[in-house]
Amino acid sequence: MLMFSRMRILHVSDIHGNIGAVEKIIQKTGEVRADLIAVTGDLTHFGEIEDAETLLERISESGKQIFFVPGNCDPRALLEWTPTNSYVKNLHLRSIDFSGWEFIGLGGAVGRYGTLIEFTEEEVEDMLKKVIPRKSGFIFISHSPPYGLEVDYTGVKHIGSKAVKKYVENYQPKLMICGHAHEGRGIVKINETTIVNSGAAKNGYCAVIDLGESLEVQLTTLY
């Protein structure tokens, strides 16, 4: 029987360079006693590597581990960037263990929006072949939501990824967290996978997730 350690995640996404939101993330981390901060992309708004680094350095002052993936509005070089701060890990196309859990990440988005990190569905499918989970019950961190659900709906159209949805269906993570569609804030399921879009941190939104044998998600605010 698999045994899962207890862990609390503060999930934030789509900061878009909002320094005020960063300060609130640090405060919220302490308030909820999070073990890990997961940032699912769009740290900057068409910024540079230095802008993303500044934001992550500030968040790291919380003293907690940070896992992030780049979003489509982040600089493309962020995909390959290796942080020097030991509290910060770039999860794009990487598998990292933390507190007994395996985390797998994917940055960027599918589509043609004129943004900085965009892929075709075929490119996403090929990239995800590089990160086959080693453990059952893993956590998938992606900027792009799965296609065709409430969590990828902007109120006008679905902007998620079909390749991401296929990956979730095939490998069934215990939890997937995502962002990208600011209006798609919510919690849905694909089979036994719980999928969370925390909403845009720049608008004051976040999620608190308790992981263990059971899974509890609270959509909440930074202030």
In Å, how far from its chain's centre is CA 21?
A: 16
> What CATH number is given to the structural domain containing 20?
3.60.21.10
Count structural domains, the chain. 1
Please tell me the distance from the alpha carbon of residue 95 to that of residue 105, in angstroms, as a whole number: 7
Residues sharing a CB contact under 8 Å with residue 70, sequence separation 6 or more, in sequence order: 41, 43, 52, 78, 79, 90, 92, 107, 108, 117, 143
Range of the domain at 138: 7-221
Helix/strand/coil for 193: strand
Residue 81 has pLDDT above 70, yes or no: yes
Does a structural domain hold residue 76?
Answer: yes
Does a structural domain hold residue 75?
Answer: yes
Please tell me the distance from the alpha carbon of residue 194 to that of residue 79, in angstroms, as a whole number: 26
Global pTM reads 0.96
Q: Residue 141 is encoded by which pair of tokens?
A: 């961190």
How confident is the model over 178-208, as pLDDT tens digits? 999 999 999 999 999 999 999 999 999 999 9
How confident is the model over 87-123, as pLDDT tens digits? 999 999 999 999 999 999 999 999 999 999 999 999 9
Does a structural domain hold residue 196?
Answer: yes
pLDDT at 4: 66
